[in-house]
Chain A
């Protein structure tokens, strides 16, 4: 009896310590190193596979009846940490201008009225947060490709970086797209959401919509779009705030 009990105790103690060793091992493997690099490499297969699968396919567009009754605002709720944004917000962004620069032939300064005067695209799409929730909303704005046509990218341009007014955890928020996603028909600069001017908590005056990717790519409070040849050398070098700060994937299609 005691023999059995002690054996059982020994076995469960063994199982527990083996379990905690395994868990500690997994934690260690999660950190930077060859194993994590290998996992990220395998994970990157999703990017290639999805690109091959989707071509220029559009994300599904819904009808008004499908829309979320209450679209949750997430992440930053204001760009007020940026003095420039704050002063424009005080005058309803009447004097605000979007800068398009970097590797372009003709740098642009576009007012909100100029963006509204461009051909518009309206789309009712599903916004999927990396956390798991979804909300369906209606977005309107000019296609990013119109702006890129006006500015004319230089041949060396490979990425578009979206510089935002908001600070997250004290750092400037930013995001980036490659040229394929930048020229996608549903990639727009939304100044309108659900039929109204974009509210401050959803990213006024304009927010990027890249509908084939997760929510953290949908940068709010966009102030400047910069065409670059590489993402290296900018902030953490991984092409976005969440990519730099937590290691989320740059390709956010999954």
Chain B
């Protein structure tokens, strides 16, 4: 009723570790993806198992990725490897530190771990319907992650990024000599390479949905909250939507 008269409520939403990690990832994931596509261009075929080369059966064969989406833009797997092998340390160190810190400060358990009740099909379906109808929570409810957010962010943090790092390491003959179990965990080096690529595709899918949701939820408020931490609580629109009903 009288919300309109109240000044918008600002809350501290994202802690420093989250904001820092977010922007380090923006840079390092973009570089890893684009240099990775150039390395992939050297042999754009994927296999399952321990071995796989031109005479063997590929499960996926793609045309070369174009220069506007690769680093460097000209054909050079060697230069791409310089980027990829350097920024792998940035990506890996950042997520390791963030995971440890998020365990210590309780972020993982408090904000990202789904509650049992949230995982019920009924709750999940309701959340999917709300997202599809672009009904976003308002007020205090907008502060907690909903179940689809938890699954998306948690999936990136504990599945896609660790998965892409471990499969990346499993492609290294040096690491494999030390850790025979690592490529074995994924079913062999070529399976690891395939999963590496699939994780990258998963991160691209996350990126597309993430950007769409940020735009729909109010890009200025969302981006500000990820830079300064301050987030303006969205106002309920109950009255307005009633008019239309």
Contacts and interface: CB of A to CB of B under 8 A. Distances in A.
Interface stretch (A5-13, A58-66, A139-147, A189-197): A58-66
A57 B50 contact: no
A201 interface: no
A50 B178 contact: yes
Interface string A19-44: 11001101100100000101110110
B170 to A, nearest CB: 11
Interface stretch (A159-167, A169-177, A241-249): A241-249
A131 interface: yes
Interface stretch (B82-90, B97-105, B130-138): B82-90
Interface residues of A, number: 53
Interface stretch (B73-81, B142-150, B198-206): B73-81
Contacts of B177: 54, 57-60, 211-212, 253
A59 B86 contact: no
A249 B68 CA distance: 25
A128 B189 contact: yes
Interface residues of B, number: 45
A60 B175 CA distance: 11
B52 A54 contact: no
B19 interface: no
Interface string B56-95: 1000000000011001111011110111011101000000
Contacts of A213: 173-174
Interface stretch (B2-10, B37-45, B230-238): B37-45
B172 interface: yes
A62 B49 CA distance: 13
A212 B56 CA distance: 23
The CB with the most chain B CB atoms within 10 A, among A53, A129, A133, A248, is that of: A133
A27 B72 contact: yes
A36 B42 CA distance: 21
Interface in B173-193: 173-180, 183, 189-190, 193
Given A68-B53, A134-B51, A212-B174, A39 B83 contact: yes
Nearest to B31: A26
Given A30-B76, A246-B76, A135 B174 contact: no
Nearest to B178: A54
Contact of B55 (A42, A53, A62, A72): A72
Contact of B89 (A27, A42, A135): A42
B51 to A, nearest CB: 5
B42 to A, nearest CB: 4
A43 B82 contact: yes
A242 B79 CA distance: 12
B166 interface: no
B55 A132 contact: no
B74 A27 contact: yes
Nearest to B74: A27
Given A19-B68, A72-B55, A246 B78 contact: yes
Contacts of A24: 73
Contact of B53 (A40, A59, A72, A254): A72
A91 interface: no
B55 A70 contact: yes
A39 B68 contact: no
Contacts of A46: 85, 172, 174
B45 to A, nearest CB: 7
Given A27-B74, A248-B81, A133 B53 contact: yes
Contacts of B77: 130-131
Nearest to B196: A132
Nearest to A16: B68
17 contacts: A39-B83, A43-B86, A50-B172, A55-B178, A59-B176, A68-B53, A68-B56, A70-B56, A129-B43, A130-B42, A132-B43, A132-B193, A133-B190, A136-B51, A211-B177, A212-B174, A213-B173
Interface of B: 34, 39-40, 42-43, 45, 47, 50-56, 67-68, 71-74, 76-79, 81-83, 85-87, 89, 171-180, 183, 189-190, 193
Interface of A: 19-20, 23-24, 26-27, 30, 36, 38-40, 42-43, 45-46, 50, 53-55, 57-60, 62, 66, 68-72, 126, 128-136, 211-214, 242, 246-249, 251-254
Given A30-B76, A30-B79, A254-B85, 11 more contacts: A40-B86, A58-B177, A59-B173, A62-B50, A126-B173, A128-B171, A133-B43, A133-B52, A136-B51, A251-B174, A254-B175
